[in-house]
Amino acid sequence: MLLVNQIRDNFDGVLLGLKKRNFPNAQAILDQVISLDDLRKSSQTERDQIQAEANSISKQIGLLMKEGKKEEAENAKSRTAEIKIRIKELEEQTSKAEEDLKALLYTIPNIPHTSVPAGKSAEDNEVVLQHGEIPALFEGKLPHWELIKKYDIIDFDLGIKITGAGFPVYKGKGARLQRALINFFLDEALAAGYLEVQPPIMVNEDSGYGTGQLPDKEGQMYFASVDNLYLIPTAEVPITNLYRDVILNEEDLPIKNVGYTPCFRREAGSWGAHVRGLNRLHQFDKVEIVQITHPDQSYNTLEAMSGYVQGLLKKLELPYRVLRLCGGDMGFTSALTYDMEVFSAAQERWLEVSSVSNFETYQTNRLKLRFRGEDKKTQLAHSLNGSALALPRIVASILENNQTPDGILMPKVLHSYLGFDKI
C-alpha cells in the first residue's frame, strides 16, 4: 500500500498517478487519508501530553502527602483519574483512526511509473517490441482444442466429470509436455541464479493482504472457509511472503527465488472462443520468478527480468511481442508491468503468457519487508515478479504453431526433456 508520507509529500503527483489509472474519487479519498492521519497524530500527541502530566502529578501526590497537604493530594488524585479516562478515550480514538486509515489505504492502487501510458483498457497498451516471424500454416489448420482431441493428449470432459469446467486432465504426451516445460523453466531459472523454493499452495489472510490479493481480488480466489485459507492464484503470493516481517542486509540483495506451483483462479470464463480450451482455466501450472531488490536497482532488474522471459520464448521458437500496460489495464499493486504475448497461428491472435511487474514499495510496505544499509538504518526494499512461464497458453501456441498434416513438432529445446520430438 502507499505510504502516508508519500501522499503528503507528493499529493499532486499521487493524484495524477491515480487519474492515469482512472481511479474514481481520487481527490476525496486522498483528502480523507490526510484527515485520518491528522486525527491519528493529534490524538496520539494529546495522549502523550496528558500522560506526561499524569506522570508528573503522580510524583507530586507522594510529596503532598508527606507534607500533610491531604486536600491538595486528593485533588491531584482526582485529576489523575480524569486523565486516565481521557487517555483511554484517546487510545481508542487513535486506534480507530489507524484502523480506518489502513483500511482506506488498502483500497488505493499503486502509483504508475512515469513511463506508463495513459489509457482505459488493453486497447491502449503500448507495443514495446515484436520478435519472430508469424508462422504460415497449411490449409486445414486446427485450433488447439481440436488438436488435443485429435491426438488425445488433454481431456476437458474428464476434468468436468471429476471437478468441473476449467480443470483439464493431461494425459500421455500431453502430461509429459507439461512436465517437460516445468522442468525446462526451472532449470533455466536456476542457471540464471534463482534459488528454487517449493511453497505451500494455500495461504492465510495475512499473506493475501501482504502481496495485495486482499482485499482487491477476494472474490477471484478459492476460499477454504473452515480453515480461513486461500488457494493461491500465483506462486508470487507465498514466495514473496517468505520475507514478510523480515529485515534483510543490504549485501544480501537481490534475493532471487523461483518456484513451480499449480495456480487457482475462480474468475476464469467458460464460454466464447477467447476463453476456449487452454486459453483460460480455473487451475493451471506456472513457474514464477520473484526478486527483492534495492530501490536504486529495481527498474534495471525489471528490464533484466523482461529480457529473461523473452529468452525463454526465443528458445521455444515462439513469435512474441512485449507490451507496456497502460494505467487502466495494470494490476492493482503494480507500478509498471510488461506483458509478453505469443502469437497463436491457428486462432490468429496474441495470447498473454507472462506479466513481469515492479511493485516498488507497494507490497513491501504491507509486508514490512525492509533492509538495513551500511548506516544501520532500515528502509523498504522493492519487490518484483514475473511469470516464467504460465503453461496453458504456451502449450496452446506450441501445439497450434507447430502443427503439420501428420503431427505436431516439438521445440528442439524440449526434446531432451520430452524423450520425443513429435506428437
Q: List the binding residues for L-serine.
A: 234, 265, 288, 385
Extract the annotated binding site.
Answer: 234, 265-267, 288, 352-355, 385
CA distance 211 to 199: 15
Residue 42 DSSP SS3: helix
Kindly provide the residue ranges of all beta strands, DSSP E only, lying in 141-199, ordered along the sequence: 154-155, 169-170, 195-196
Q: How many CA atoms lie within 13 A of 313 on its CB side?
A: 31
Longest Cα–Cα distance of the chain, Å, equals: 109
Extract the annotated binding site for ATP.
Answer: 265-267, 352-355
Q: Which has the closest alpha carbon to 235: 273, 193, 185, 270? A: 185
The three three-digit cell numbers of residue 196, written as one number: 528454487
The three three-digit cell numbers of residue 140, written as one number: 486445414
CA distance 249 to 268: 40
Q: Which has the closest alpha carbon to 329: 128, 122, 123? A: 122
Do 301 and 294 contact (CB within 8 A), yes or no? no
Do 421 and 409 contact (CB within 8 A), yes or no? yes
Which single residue is written with the C-alpha cell 500421455?
Answer: 172
DSSP per-residue codes, 319-367 = -EEEEEPPTTTS-TT-SEEEEEEEEETTTTEEEEEEEEEE-TTHHHHHH
The three three-digit cell numbers of residue 173, written as one number: 504426451
